[in-house]
Chain A
Amino acid sequence: DAKTTQPTSMDCAEGRAANLPCNHSTISGNEYVYWYRQIHSQGPQYIIHGLKNNETNEMASLIITEDRKSSTLILPHATLRDTAVYYCIVSSNDYKLSFGAGTTVTVRA
């Protein structure tokens, strides 16, 4: 599976949009982009996934560039409960998700 690169950490203000970038320049045509988050000492939580079109659900939006080499997860109105480690993962359907270090997002009041 392709490797991803994310910033180590970022802060955002409560109530503002949080934009989390991810680079996956070696992504191949059949690989999806998945986003998960892990709140301290809990299991990872699925957020959203996409192949090439932008996607939106009740938790977040996913913007994938046209060349698919990068993506951005958008939390439209960050709350204190969104403080977590966010993982961007690229995977084909081989039952493997490789979790890297992710981005530690701290939402501040």
Chain B
Amino acid sequence: ETGVTQTPRHLVMGMTNKKSLKCEQHLGHNAMYWYKQSAKKPLELMFVYNFKEQTENNSVPSRFSPECPNSSHLFLHLHTLQPEDSALYLCASSQEVAGKNIQYFGAGTRLSVL
């Protein structure tokens, strides 16, 4: 248990569906992240939020829409996805301390787009 909880763990959706991924952290951290991990590829950073403000958008298509209502919750809203968006989506949180920034990850949501 890392203190970062992601729901759902598995999601199957059609290309015309709208769904949301949820992430909650119980660590009191100020930064939260979304990563994408496609099959046999390294993790790709998608979005960074720091004190609820988006500080990084790594050229992510607009069909992925993040939302950070407070420092403990992060959502990823999905609409009109493509089959190539099927991947493991990981959430992480961190707190900068004395120049160090250790990220703690959730277990991920395995997304399949049909």
Identify the A interface with B (CB < 8 A).
30, 32, 34, 41-46, 49, 91-102
Stretch at the interface among B12-20, B65-73, B77-85, B95-103: B95-103
B55 interface residue per 8 A CB criterion: yes
Contacts of B100 in A (CB 8 A): 32, 49, 93
- List the A residue with the shortest CB-CB distance to B100: A32
Residues from chain A with Cβ under 8 Å of B31 in the complex: 95
Contact of A32 among B6, B48, B55, B99 (CB under 8 A): B99
The reply to whether A43 and B90 form a contact with Cβ atoms under 8 Å apart is: yes
Residues of A within 8 A of B96 (CB): 93, 95
Q: Are B103 and A97 in contact (CB under 8 A)?
A: yes
Whether A43 lies near B107 (C-beta < 8 A) is yes
Shortest C-beta distance, A102 to chain B (Å), equals 8
The count of residues in chain B whose C-beta lies closer than 8 Å to any C-beta of chain A is: 28
Asked if B2 is an interface residue, CB under 8 A from chain A, the answer is: yes
- 21 CB contacts below 8 A, A to B, read A41-B88, A41-B108, A42-B107, A42-B108, A43-B2, A43-B105, A43-B107, A44-B90, A44-B105, A45-B2, A45-B105, A46-B104, A91-B101, A94-B101, A95-B31, A95-B96, A97-B101, A98-B45, A99-B42, A99-B43, A102-B42
Partner of A34 from B6, B33, B99, B102 at Cβ < 8 Å: B102
Main secondary structure of the interface of B (DSSP, over half): strand
Give the distance to chain B from A5, nearest Cβ to Cβ, in Å: 14
| Residues of A with C-beta under 8 A to B103 | 44, 46, 97
CB–CB A43/B42 < 8 A = no
Minimum CB distance partner of B33 in chain A: A95
The answer for the CA separation of A101 and B37 in the assembled complex, in Å, is 11
B55 CB contacts on chain A under 8 angstroms: 95
Is B42's CB under 8 angstroms from A100's CB?
yes
Task: Name the A residues within 8 Å of B88 (CB-CB).
Answer: 41
**Which B residues touch A34, using CB under 8 A?**
102
Q: Knowing A41-B88, A45-B2 are in contact, say whether A95-B101 is a contact too (CB < 8 A).
A: yes
With A41-B88, A43-B90, A45-B2 in contact, is A95–B50 under 8 Å at CB? yes
